């Protein structure tokens, strides 16, 4: 096996790459990029605060006490060079809100209005209060309603942005039931949520409520307020059922989606493919790919990564390899995820050396491996009893300060113990704890279980 293959070396230069789980090619939600482009007035105040905050390293308001806050406000007004405009007031309010209670913030706002009659709070100002009241540790919605009422009495009708701010803040605070309650209330009185808010809420509901609750909510919103689920909503739902391995429901949803006049796009297909990957159903994965082609939906990088991941996972490495070539032909640049998936498949087949060769090929093509790649290889080498190469790789990873994953750590420790290299196993344990790859408990219990197993194996004459 000789010296370190060149491909191990870059471990040293790649120390800072974040661990990338294999499932990452399957990230779906395409509403994210759109969300960032959506302007929300409240963001003005946030950016303003950021710029002001960066000038002054420490927070403006240190105490939640109202009277001292007023003093701080008065002194800032005297000393500041910044124009005393809406943004200025919003910034101060925001920064006070981060330390105070809702009622104090409201009083502070009144104080500012009194001190500067020219300052007339607009929606963004009230959104600050609203967001604060949504995050307040309260078991009811009354502070939220209070701020909304305040807004209305000052002649500002809550709009879609208001709804969005409130729902996001509530979800962030983990008050999903309140979010549902409030969205219905707001739809009834003021403004129904737009698709972004609606989908955001559906996504959060999916995370922590049963499917029937989610369906109930969607039906409710549809029948009461005419908010129809769109393609993104369906993608979220399909993703959700795929994650719980309920492919039949996913197929039903695809049917519903077609009936409602939507055409599945790349994201939908990717999601379904991921679902089949979870079940290691190779033929179905290829089926989805073919269907995409038939329907004229162009597969993207994620599609290919999912496809290769799934085929490797279900033991069809040769085909996966074939798709790597197809992928390149169709103009996609395979990334670390692609190669790692393929290596994973090869290691599963017991072809760890082939995986090492692939690592070299990958680097020749200008794609740098990440810590997940190395962990996969380490795991494969140890499983394949190629200990010398495995230890070499481990040392390269260690000198690069790379994290060990739980599986590769356990395999390495076990392989070392099996060969009677207990001291080295202890050393790996030390590194795992030191590099914070695993918790002490996880690292130790693996070691302990392995040593227990070793004792048994020795008694039966199976290990050194």
Residue 155 half-sphere exposure toward CB, CA atoms < 13 A: 3
Supply the Cα-derived Rg of the chain in whole angstroms: 28
Which of 83, 420, 431, 459: binder of another protein (CB under 8 A)? 420
Q: Is 434 in the site for another protein (CB under 8 A)?
A: no
Count Cβ atoms within 10 A of the Cβ of residue 459 and give its class: 0-12 exposed, 13-18 middle, 19 or more buried.
Answer: exposed
**Closest separation in Å from C-beta 151 to another protein:** 47
Give dist(CA 390, CA 292) in Å, integer. 40
CB of 243 to another protein, least distance (A): 19
For 328-346, give the secondary structure using H, E and C.
HHCCCCCCHHHHHHHHHHH
C-beta of 245 vs 456, nearer to another protein: 456
DSSP string, 34-58: HHHHS--HHHHHHHHHHHHHHHSSS
**Count of C-beta atoms within a 10 Å radius of residue 50:** 12
DSSP code of residue 155: T
Q: Which of 114, 423, 460, 461 binds another protein (CB under 8 A)?
A: 423
CA distances from 410 to 377, 384, 426 (A): 14, 14, 12
DSSP letter, residue 9: G
Say how many residues touch another protein, by CB under 8 A: 23
Binding mask 435-464 for another protein (x = CB under 8 A): -----xxx-xx-xxxxxxxxx---------
Instruction: Look up residue 106 and give its two tokens.
Output: 């409201």
Give 390: exposed, middle or buried? Use CB within 10 Å, 0-12, 13-18, 19+.
buried
Task: From 26-34, 69-77, 195-203, 423-431, give the range in contact with another protein by CB under 8 A.
Answer: 423-431
- Choosing from 221, 372, 417, 428, the residue that interacts with another protein (CB under 8 A) is 417
Among 30, 363, 422, 435, the residue binding another protein under the rule CB under 8 A is 422
Q: What minimum distance in Å lies between the beta carbon of 355 and another protein?
A: 19
CB of residue 67 to another protein, shortest distance in Å: 46
Binding mask 391-410 for another protein (x = CB under 8 A): -------------------x
What is the closest distance, in whole angstroms, from the C-beta atom of residue 347 to another protein in the complex?
14
Please say which residue, 225 or 444, places its beta carbon nearer to another protein. 444
Question: What's the min distance (Å) between Cβ of 364 and another protein?
Answer: 34
> For the purposes of burial, counting CB atoms within 10 Å of the CB of 123, is it exposed (0-12), middle (13-18) or buried (19 or more)?
buried
Residue list 184-213, contact with another protein (CB under 8 A): none
In this structure, what DSSP letter does residue 366 have? T
Q: Which among 171-179, 193-201, 347-355, 416-424 is the span making contact with another protein, rule CB under 8 A?
A: 416-424
Q: Which residue, 308 or 386, has its beta carbon nearer to another protein? A: 386
Q: Which stretch binds another protein (CB under 8 A): 101-109, 218-226, 351-359, 419-427?
A: 419-427
Rounded to a whole number of angstroms, the minimum distance from the CB of residue 65 to another protein is: 40
Residue 459 CA to residue 464 CA, distance in Å, equals: 10
Q: Which is nearer to another protein, 17 or 457 (CB)?
A: 457
Is residue 154 classed as helix, strand or coil in its secondary structure? Answer: coil
Q: Does 156 interact with another protein (rule: CB under 8 A)?
A: no
Smallest separation (angstroms) from another protein to the CB of 446: 8
CB of 463 to another protein, least distance (A): 10
**Burial category of 267 from C-beta neighbours within 10 Å (exposed 0-12, middle 13-18, buried 19 and up):** buried
414 binds another protein (CB under 8 A): yes
Q: Report helix, strand or coil for 312.
A: helix
Residues at the contact surface with another protein, assessed by CB under 8 A: 410, 414, 417, 420-424, 426, 440-442, 444-445, 447-455
């Amino acid at each position: 096996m000789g010296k370190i293959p060149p491909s191990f070396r870059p471990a040293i230069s790649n120390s800072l790459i974040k661990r990338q789980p294999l499932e990452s090619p399957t990230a779906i939600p395409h509403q994210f990029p759109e969300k960032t482009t959506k302007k929300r007035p409240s963001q003005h105040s946030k950016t303003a605060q950021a710029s002001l905050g960066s000038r002054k390293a420490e927070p403006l308001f240190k105490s939640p006490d109202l009277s001292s806050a007023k003093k701080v406000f008065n002194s800032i007004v005297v000393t500041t060079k910044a124009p005393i405009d809406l943004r200025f007031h919003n910034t101060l309010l925001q920064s006070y809100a981060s330390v105070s209670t809702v009622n104090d913030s409201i009083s502070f706002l009144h104080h500012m209005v009194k001190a500067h009659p020219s300052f007339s709070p607009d929606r963004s100002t009230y959104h600050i209060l609203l967001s604060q009241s949504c995050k307040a540790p309260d078991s009811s919605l009354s502070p939220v309603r209070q701020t909304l009422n305040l807004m209305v009495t000052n002649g500002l009708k809550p709009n879609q942005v208001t709804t969005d701010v409130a729902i996001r803040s509530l979800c962030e605070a983990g008050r999903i039931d309140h979010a549902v309650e409030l969205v219905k209330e707001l739809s009834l009185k003021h403004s129904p949520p737009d698709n972004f808010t609606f989908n955001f809420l559906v996504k959060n509901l999916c995370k922590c409520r049963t499917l029937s609750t989610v369906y109930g909510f969607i039906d409710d919103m549809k029948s009461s307020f005419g908010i129809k689920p769109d393609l993104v909503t369906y993608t979220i739902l399909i993703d959700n059922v795929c994650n719980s391995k309920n492919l039949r429901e996913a197929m039903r949803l695809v049917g519903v989606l077609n009936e409602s006049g939507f055409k599945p796009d790349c994201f939908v297909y990717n999601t379904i493919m991921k679902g089949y990957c979870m079940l290691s159903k190779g033929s179905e994965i290829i089926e989805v790919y073919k269907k995409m082609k038939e329907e004229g939906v162009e597969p993207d990088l994620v599609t290919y990564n999912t496809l290769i991941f799934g085929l490797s996972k279900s033991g069809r490495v040769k085909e996966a390899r074939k798709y790597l070539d197809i992928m390149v032909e169709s103009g996609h640049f395979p990334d670390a995820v692609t190669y790692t998936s393929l290596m994973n498949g090869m290691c599963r087949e017991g072809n760890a050396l082939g995986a090492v060769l692939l690592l070299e090929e990958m680097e020749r093509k200008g794609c740098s491996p990440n810590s997940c790649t190395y962990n996969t290889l380490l795991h494969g080498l140890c499983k394949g009893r190629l200990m010398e190469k495995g230890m070499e790789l481990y040392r390269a990873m260690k000198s690069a300060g790379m994290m060990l994953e739980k599986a590769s750590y356990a395999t390495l420790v076990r392989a070392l113990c099996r060969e009677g290299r207990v001291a080295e196993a202890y050393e790996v344990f030390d590194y795992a704890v030191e590099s914070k790859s695993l918790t002490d408990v996880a690292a130790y219990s693996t070691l302990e279980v392995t040593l227990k197993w070793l004792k048994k194996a020795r008694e039966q004459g199976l290990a050194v």
